[in-house]
Amino acid sequence: MTWGPATGRRQRALTWRAVLACLALIAPGCSAAEAQTLTRDLMNPARGGFFQPQDSGLRRISDAGDGDDAAPPSSTIAPSRIGSIPTYGVPAATGAGDTGYDSLNRRRKKPRPYPGATKPKRPPGPGNFVAAPPPPPLSVPPSSTANTASIAPAMAGRVEGQPARRRLKRDDDPFGAVGNYVGSFLVKSAVELWGGYDTNPGRFRNPKGSAFYMVSPEFVAASDWERHALLVDLRGSFTGYGKTFPPDIDSAGQPIVSPVPTNVDRPDFTGRVDGRLDVTHDTRINSELRLRIGTDNPGSPNIQAGLERYPLYATTGGTAGIEHDFNRLQLSLNGTADRTTYQNSRLTDGTSTSNDDRDFNQYGAVARASYELLPGVKPFGEVEADTRVHDTRFDRNGFQRDSNGGYAKVGSSFELTRLLTGEASIGYAARSYADPRLNQLTGLLTDASLIWSATPLTTAKFISVTSVDESTLAGVSGVLTRTYTFEVDHDFRRWLTAIGRFTYGTRDYQGSSRSDEIYSLSGDLVYKLTREFQIKAQVRRDILASNISGASSASTVVMLGVRLQR
Distance (Å, whole) CA 564 – CA 528:
10
What pLDDT does residue 150 have? 59
What pLDDT does residue 75 have? 46
Task: Answer yes or no: is 130 within a domain.
Answer: no
Same domain, residue pair 341 and 464 = yes
Cα–chain center distance at 254: 62
Residue 249: how many other CB atoms lie within 10 Å: 10
SS3 (DSSP) at 274? strand
Q: How many residues does the chain have?
A: 566
Task: Answer yes or no: is 448 within a domain.
Answer: yes
Q: If the chain, 566 residues long, is cut into consecutive pieces of 10 residues, what is the mean pLDDT of each piece?
A: 49 56 50 46 46 44 45 53 66 60 60 61 54 54 55 56 70 85 94 94 82 96 94 95 69 61 89 95 96 88 83 95 95 97 88 91 97 91 96 92 95 86 94 93 93 92 93 90 96 94 94 91 96 96 90 93 95
Same domain, residue pair 66 and 187 = no
374 DSSP assignment: B
Task: Answer yes or no: is 170 within a domain.
Answer: no
**Residue range(s) defining the domain that contains residue 25:** 5-76
DSSP-assigned states of every residue in 153-220? HHHHT--TTPPPPPPPPP-S-TTS---EEETTEEEEEEEEEEEEEES-TT--SS---EEEEEEEEEEE
Same domain, residue pair 555 and 418 = yes
Task: Answer yes or no: is 359 within a domain.
Answer: yes
**Cα Rg of the chain (Å, integer):** 47
What is the pTM (predicted TM-score) of this model? 0.69
Distance (Å, whole) CA 278 – CA 61:
88
Q: How many domains, the chain?
A: 2
Q: Which of the listed residues 51, 76, 101 is the one where a domain comes to its end?
A: 76
Residue 401 sits in a domain whose CATH number is 2.40.160
Task: Answer yes or no: is 409 within a domain.
Answer: yes
Distance (Å, whole) CA 36 – CA 30:
10
Q: Which of the listed residues 47, 76, 105 is the one where a domain comes to its end?
A: 76
Same domain, residue pair 363 and 220 = yes
Q: Which of the listed residues 49, 76, 103 is the one where a domain comes to its end?
A: 76
DSSP-assigned states of every residue in 328-369? TEEEEEEEEEEEEEEPPEEBTTS-EE--GGG-EEEEEEEEEE
Distance (Å, whole) CA 345 – CA 357:
12
What pLDDT does residue 537 have? 97
Distance (Å, whole) CA 553 – CA 173:
39
What pLDDT does residue 261 have? 77
Same domain, residue pair 60 and 189 = no
In the beta sheet, which residues pair with residue 517? 506, 545
Residue type, 52: Q
Task: Answer yes or no: is 393 within a domain.
Answer: yes
Question: What is the enclosing helix (H) or strand (E) of 18?
Answer: helix 5-26
Q: Torsion angle, CA of 47/50/55/56, rounded to 10 degrees?
A: 160
Task: Answer yes or no: is 91 within a domain.
Answer: no
Task: Answer yes or no: is 82 within a domain.
Answer: no
